[in-house]
A = this chain, B = another copy of it.
Amino acid sequence: MTDNGTVPISKKTTTKTPADGRRRELLATAAEVFAAQGYNATTVRRIADEAGILAGSLYYHFDSKESMLDEILSAFLDELWAGYDAVLAAGLGPRETIEALVTESFREIDRHRAAVAIYQKESRHLVDQPRFAYLAASQRKFEKAWLGTLERGVADGAFRADLDVRLAYRFVRDTVWVAASWYRPGGAHSPEEIARQYLSMVLDGIAVRPQEP
């Protein structure tokens, strides 16, 4: 296990040099292209094109293509865990915790949809790389939070006991995060509205329940 409950997700110290706004711009366009084409299928020349500069110029801002990916993912995970930790520290009941986590997740998808899409597609290959070891740490912490909450809910009678909890965990987890593949900000539904409907389906199902007379 980990030495304490707080797993360090990112090693970045966020040294905000004045006017690193350009970095963020470039990272945003890079994230957009990575999400659309896939990391490996994206060339640095394509990113540079999209940014209106030449490929070599990117290396004034970043060490490598990989470090761009690194910054995109760790920045996302930092924000994600800021939100999650706040929810988990609120001391809510199991059902309310799940509701809050799902809602928070859809808000993160709304804000970081490119990063989420990249994470979904690439994280599996990246975990093995030492540089991206924090992805594995995040996944462990993630599972601990969600699975723990579900088990707590089964124990106190909020959730069904006749289901495989690990299966239910993957069910809820995937259900939420794949939404990033089709979600477009500024669409018909707000993140909160989508969360509400998803929670309704996950918690109560899509079938009509037998009426009580």
Chain A residues with CB under 8 Å of chain B are 36-38, 40-41, 95, 121-122, 124-125, 150, 157-160, 163-164, 167-168, 170-172, 174-175, 178-179, 181-182, 189, 194, 197-198, 200-209, 212
Contact = CB atoms under 8 A, between A and B. Distances in A.
SS class, residues of chain A in contact with chain B: helix
Contact of A208 (B121, B158, B206): B158
Instruction: Tell me the number of copies of this protein.
Output: 2
Contacts of A194: 167
Contact of A178 (B95, B178, B197): B178
A174 B40 CA distance: 24
21 contacts: A38-B38, A38-B121, A40-B40, A95-B207, A124-B181, A150-B206, A157-B208, A159-B206, A160-B207, A160-B208, A163-B206, A167-B189, A167-B197, A171-B201, A175-B175, A201-B202, A202-B206, A204-B204, A204-B205, A204-B207, A209-B209
